[in-house]
Structure 1
């Protein structure tokens, strides 16, 4: 006969100290009740990274979201990165996906892949996707990035990264622009909600996205044009690549019966700035200037698409 030693029992007080039970109607929609904060519309100026030392400037809305970690949305953190010519700067995050767009400058990033240190050369207008790796970025010219990762999702889940889901990937500016010009010249372009291209990775054929979490669009609003409203349940962290005065986004929670956004809020496009589009809000892009305007939204739509919760809807004129 063997005697097994039982582990110490968890006390009843410990087991019950955190329980709550709500009547259904009081907890079924915690966003409307205010328990879950709404996503604010926020803008972030290019002035924040125009000058000064090499640094990461987090676009942190954690106070609005009531979370104890940096976040721009529930699952994404956006940052501006400035690196002075000749400097190196290391970025690291507990995340599965990281993306950066080279606003200006040139240089290279060093990452360790399968135990080997490797280098990625980049220049202005390039796009880089990393699977949550520590990276040392060296600037050969004064450099700025727009960077987004999914570290808030990991913080919320209490998770750590396991294996990488994809390899470091570089999308060169000229290749992306050529695809965008082809989309712009398509005879059907005028009938579409957006004139844009989506950056994708062949490892994620179900979601057709740049990573399994992140979604990256590069789009153009033509002179004197209106791109009709649409909405989706992913948060958009929009970066204005280039624009002249007169380009802007209108946002609102409802449409009227003519397809116009009711009581819209206007966010003007300023080159090098960023803004947040909340989930579920209708938004349309208008370019009343005489020049092309370019915008790059980054979203957690890869995750939403996989979960079948994106719920993207387009207004179409009769």
Structure 2
């Protein structure tokens, strides 16, 4: 009596007698063993040492919020598809910001600097947001000691070993959102009432090329969320991962999968995909936090899965 092998226990099958290199490169799995890969979960995490190092202003360079070891990822990553980093530029020094990604979203934490992106230039100040296209030569030169926070989709391109398109085929262009305009636009939002279907008062950033999708890049979203004094955003979830920068809020905290994450100045919070989470402002002033998500993927695939508990 023969005993059939369990499909789930079978190893990868190789071609029997390949006639050439193309056939020799083929591999075969089955319905039992193709979908039983167990990947480590995306850790919920609040990064506090990295912003402290950045604010110490010791030297010009990048400080990554890297969880690649916990996710068994072969390249730096904060979530599987996004990398958050702090950037320090000492007064009078220059930082090359030419990155291999589709785009990176930047926030000026402190300082004043000049930015060159291809043939375009901008003057940056505290509270500015800007969008850098990947693969385009760019650099920051600081007039005074400056600190930045940035999130890019570097891991996405590393994962499928692709390179950013540039020129007229680029997915994004350089966009500058000055702090004064951000403040004005947020006041416009606060001039309207939030209803039961909205998650509070938030400013959503978009751009000319991505206006139809209401995202800032094809795959990433950016919002400046707020909490009024003594208020909270109720528990909710979504299928996209979220990376959050604490801009203002004292005392304030987040609950991520039943874990309390106390806010501290310029900390970076990671909310794993589909994790239950909420945000709480126990202070007497408005809390503000920037949130980058890889939500563009899920909106496009019709799988965002946002819901309140």
Contact 1:251/1:284 (8 A) holds in 2: yes
Measured after TM superposition, the shift of residue 171 of structure 1 is 0.7
1:21 — aligned with what? 29
Contact 1:180/1:219 (8 A) holds in 2: no
Matched residue of 2:213: which SS?
coil
Please report the TM-score for the alignment, with normalisation by the length of structure 2: 0.86
Contact 2:244/2:292 (8 A) holds in 1: yes
Please report the TM-score for the alignment, with normalisation by the length of structure 1: 0.84
Which of 301, 308, 311 is 2:302 aligned to?
308
Which of 272, 276, 284 is 1:278 aligned to?
272
Measured after TM superposition, the shift of residue 219 of structure 1 is 1.5
Aligned length: 284
Measured after TM superposition, the shift of residue 176 of structure 1 is 1.4
1:211 — aligned with what? 217
Contact 2:173/2:209 (8 A) holds in 1: no
Which of 215, 238, 243 is 1:237 aligned to?
243
Deviations 1:279-307 (A, max 9, x none): 10121111111121111111111222122
Which of 74, 97, 101 is 1:95 aligned to?
101
Which 5+ residue runs of structure 1 have no aligned equivalent? 1-7, 253-263
Partners of 1:20 and 1:38 in 2: how far apart? 27
Measured after TM superposition, the shift of residue 226 of structure 1 is 1.5
Partners of 1:105 and 1:215 in 2: how far apart? 25
Contact 2:44/2:256 (8 A) holds in 1: no
Measured after TM superposition, the shift of residue 104 of structure 1 is 0.7
Matched residue of 2:156: which SS?
helix
Measured after TM superposition, the shift of residue 251 of structure 1 is 1.8
Matched residue of 1:302: which SS?
helix
1:168 — aligned with what? 174
CA RMSD of aligned residues (A): 1.9
Which of 256, 265, 273 is 1:251 aligned to?
256
Partners of 1:29 and 1:204 in 2: how far apart? 37
Partners of 2:124 and 2:100 in 1: how far apart? 23
Contact 2:232/2:281 (8 A) holds in 1: yes
1:122 — aligned with what? 124
2:55 — aligned with what? 50
1:39 aligns with 2:49: no
4+ runs deviating over 6 angstroms:
none
1:137 — aligned with what? 140
Matched residue of 1:228: which SS?
strand
Measured after TM superposition, the shift of residue 72 of structure 1 is 0.8
Matched residue of 2:159: which SS?
helix
Deviations 1:244-284 (A, max 9, x none): 12x111122xxxxxxxxxxx111111111111000101211
Partners of 1:47 and 1:146 in 2: how far apart? 12
Matched residue of 2:21: which SS?
coil
1:149 aligns with 2:152: yes
**For structure 1, which segment, 42-51 or 233-242, has the greater mean C-alpha deviation from structure 2 after superposition?**
42-51
Contact 1:100/1:128 (8 A) holds in 2: yes
2:7 — aligned with what? none
Deviations 1:63-105 (A, max 9, x none): 1121211111111111000111111111222111111100111
1:83 aligns with 2:86: no
